[in-house]
Amino acid sequence: MISLQRVSHFYSGPCGQKISALEDVNLNIPRGSFTAIVGPNNSGKSTLGQIMVGLLSPSSGQVLIEGLDLAHWDHNLLTRTIGLIFSNPEDQIVFPIVEDDLAFSLESLAMDTLQIEKKVADILKFLDMEEYRHCSIHQLSGGQKQKLAIAAMVIRGLRYLVLDEPISHLDAKGREEVLTLIKSLHQAGGTIIYLAQRFEELVMSDLVVALVSGRVVWQGSFLELLERPEDMAQWGIEVPPIVRLVKILQDKGLAVAHPIYTVDHLIAALEKLKP
């Protein structure tokens, strides 16, 4: 479990003034869960993600990973336990050749050459990217680059993965590829902390947390979120028209049951209302 206890973070403004990024954040993320953290721009999501992985230290409060204060973790062990993926994969890809970038992630783990080669082969098979093993990074699509950046993290055996809007730079095909990979990692037992802004990113979540102006203002399930389209809009999420339509129908007294967030869902629900 990751536990944030009264976490606050401040930084200095251009004139030396103290600016608040996070205020008194309390949050528990169970191991094996999929937690989506949503919020408008400048809500503090990225700051929170960087604090979780130890890139930033909180100004006050504690972050516990599996019961141990983050400040007391050995750095090498921490980087094998939790990692952060940025929105632009090119910020994290180090080597120009696919297999070299993956192998680099394993070099600090005291593995011999044969072990590293097998790990690289296994992860490329998992990614369905075996044919790209010897390719230049520049030959990859945006989605493939982000899959590679994620793979370079999870190949180390991470238990927790924090993703900061990982599909924001991708086209529709790339978004689908990356979300499918993240779903597979979660189904394999990984703990996902997803800093999100798109509705499609929330569908897989067990828990949705809304962060506004550095404060947690709401926590609940994805299905509970569907009942709050007005709040979703305030939290920076583009609400699908189908969700707005369902809310209008319900407000007019039509007994349309949740969950409905696709046209197929709505058609099925309306069919059930036929006399």
Query: What is the model's pTM?
Result: 0.90
- pLDDT-above-70 percentage for the chain: 99
Domains located in the chain, CATH noted: 2-237 (3.40.50.300), 240-275 (no CATH)
Beta strands in 160-206 (DSSP E): 160-164, 191-196
CA distances, 14 to each of 9, 17, 267 (Å):
17, 7, 54
CA–CA distances in Å: residue 101 to residues 1, 82, 84, 136, 211: 29, 19, 16, 10, 34
Beta strands in the chain (DSSP E): 2-12, 18-29, 34-38, 60-65, 68-69, 82-85, 160-164, 191-196, 207-212, 215-220
Render pLDDT for 6-27 as a digit per residue (tens, 0 to 9).
999 999 888 878 899 999 999 9
pLDDT at 258: 65
Judge whether 65 and 73 are in contact, CB under 8 Å: yes
The C-alpha atoms of residue 205 and residue 34 are separated, in whole angstroms, by 5
Summarize pLDDT for 118-132 with one digit per residue, the tens: 999 999 999 999 999
- Residue 37's Cα: distance from chain center in Å? 8
- Comparing CA positions, the residue from 139, 219, 220, 153 lying closest to residue 182 is 153
Low-confidence ranges of the chain (pLDDT < 70): 258
Question: What pLDDT, on a 0 to 100 scale, did the predictor assign at position 253?
Answer: 80
Rounded-to-integer distance, Cα 146 and Cα 175, Å: 9
CB distance 189 to 32 below 8 Å: yes
Q: How far apart are CA 20 and CA 235, in angstroms?
A: 18
Both structure tokens of 217: 């203002």
CB-based contact 64:82 (threshold 8 Å): no
